[in-house]
Amino acid sequence: MPEVTGHAPGRPSWAELASPDAKASREFYGSLFGWSCYTLTVPEYGDYDVFTQGGVQGPEVAGMQQLADDAQPPSWSVYFDTDDIQASIDAVRAEGGHELMQPVRIADLGEMALCVDPEGAGFALWVPGRLKGAGVVDEPGAMCWVELACHDVGQARRFYGKVFGWQAAERRYYSPYTNLKLGDRSFGGIVDLDHLRENGYEAEPHWIPYFWVGDCDAIAARTAELGGRVLLPPTDIQPGRYSVLADPAGARLAVIAPGGGPPEA
């Protein structure tokens, strides 16, 4: 697949890991996905790691920042592109969410803000500069889907529909599921957190990135071997076979071996 050079406003464009130990995370994800990594030194902000596919010179897959405060939980975050960051923040406020961090320009890389939805699930807004977001998506080793786990699916559909203009449609995989689409292509979904808890998955409302893998079972087993955890075991659903994992620090991510293509065309 050709390298991606930009993402449409409203679409997920980047996944970022907040890690308490950047060196350990580089080793873990390098072993798990075969990612390489290079480091950007950003004036006033310090070092920022960028995971790549196919060697250090390969396309960017995701980012990583070192947590400065031990009280902050390790996590994966999802970034959504916007061409007007203040208008997006105004929409977030109008629909019952709020910003955690006002817009800030990160040198020439781009402009970002951190927000939470009405249930407290965090996400980031991004106006691209030199960093256009993921240079590869929807193929092995890259982000191919994003998912919100929340309690009030109807509220989430209304909130994100107003903020980003997403369309939502019901699907049924292992449980009722909301499929999210922008334009003519699906990119993510919403799942009922209460249903997940019935299956032993404990979490607060959150966004999670999915990464495309060739063998879901092998990746889940390898995660455990490397010191991570399997939070939801490999399970067959209509788009493929998926699992929810935690890295050794506890950051949650999902993997899926799609059945012949991206999870939803």
Last residue in a domain, options 82, 105, 128: 128
Q: Are 1 and 67 in contact (CB under 8 A)?
A: no
| pLDDT in the model for residue 264 | 61
Query: Do residue 190 and residue 230 come from a single domain?
Result: yes
Query: Do residue 199 and residue 112 come from a single domain?
Result: no
Considering the domain boundaries, does residue 20 fall inside one?
Answer: yes
Query: Do residue 110 and residue 149 come from a single domain?
Result: no
For the entire predicted model, the pTM comes to 0.94
Which pLDDT band holds residue 110 (cuts at 50, 70, 90)?
very high
Q: How far apart are the first and last CA of the chain?
A: 15
Query: Do residue 21 and residue 95 come from a single domain?
Result: yes
Considering the domain boundaries, does residue 149 fall inside one?
Answer: yes
Arithmetic mean of pLDDT, 164-178? 85
Angle at 133 between CA 40 and CA 179, to 5 degrees: 145
Query: Do residue 109 and residue 176 come from a single domain?
Result: no
Considering the domain boundaries, does residue 7 fall inside one?
Answer: no
Considering the domain boundaries, does residue 3 fall inside one?
Answer: no
Count of other CB atoms within 10 angstroms of residue 258? 22
Domain containing residue 206: CATH number: 3.10.180.10
Distance (Å, rounded) from C-alpha 129 to C-alpha 22?
A: 24
Query: Which residues, 6 or more positions from 225, have their beta carbon under 8 angstroms from its beta carbon?
Result: none
Query: Do residue 36 and residue 74 come from a single domain?
Result: yes
Distance (Å, rounded) from C-alpha 135 to C-alpha 95?
A: 31
Query: Do residue 101 and residue 161 come from a single domain?
Result: no
Q: How many domains does the chain have?
A: 2
Query: Do residue 45 and residue 77 come from a single domain?
Result: yes
In three-state secondary structure terms, 87 is helix
Query: Do residue 173 and residue 82 come from a single domain?
Result: no
More confident of the two residues 64 and 4: 64
Last residue in a domain, options 70, 102, 128: 128
Query: Do residue 169 and residue 249 come from a single domain?
Result: yes
Residue range 29-55, pLDDT digits in tens: 999 999 999 999 988 888 999 999 999
| pLDDT in the model for residue 1 | 52
Considering the domain boundaries, does residue 82 fall inside one?
Answer: yes
Residue range 183-240, pLDDT digits in tens: 989 999 999 998 888 778 888 999 999 999 999 999 999 999 999 999 999 999 889 9
Q: Are 126 and 112 in contact (CB under 8 A)?
A: yes
Q: Is the pLDDT of residue 170 over 90?
A: no
| pLDDT in the model for residue 265 | 47
- What domain range is 33 assigned to? 12-128
Considering the domain boundaries, does residue 214 fall inside one?
Answer: yes
Query: Do residue 123 and residue 147 come from a single domain?
Result: no
Last residue in a domain, options 75, 100, 128: 128
| pLDDT in the model for residue 196 | 84
| pLDDT in the model for residue 260 | 59
Q: Which helix (H) or strand (E) holds 157?
A: helix 153-164
Check the CA dihedral 149-34-25-217 and report its sign: positive
Considering the domain boundaries, does residue 6 fall inside one?
Answer: no
Mean pLDDT of the chain: 93
Query: Do residue 251 and residue 162 come from a single domain?
Result: yes
Considering the domain boundaries, does residue 137 fall inside one?
Answer: no
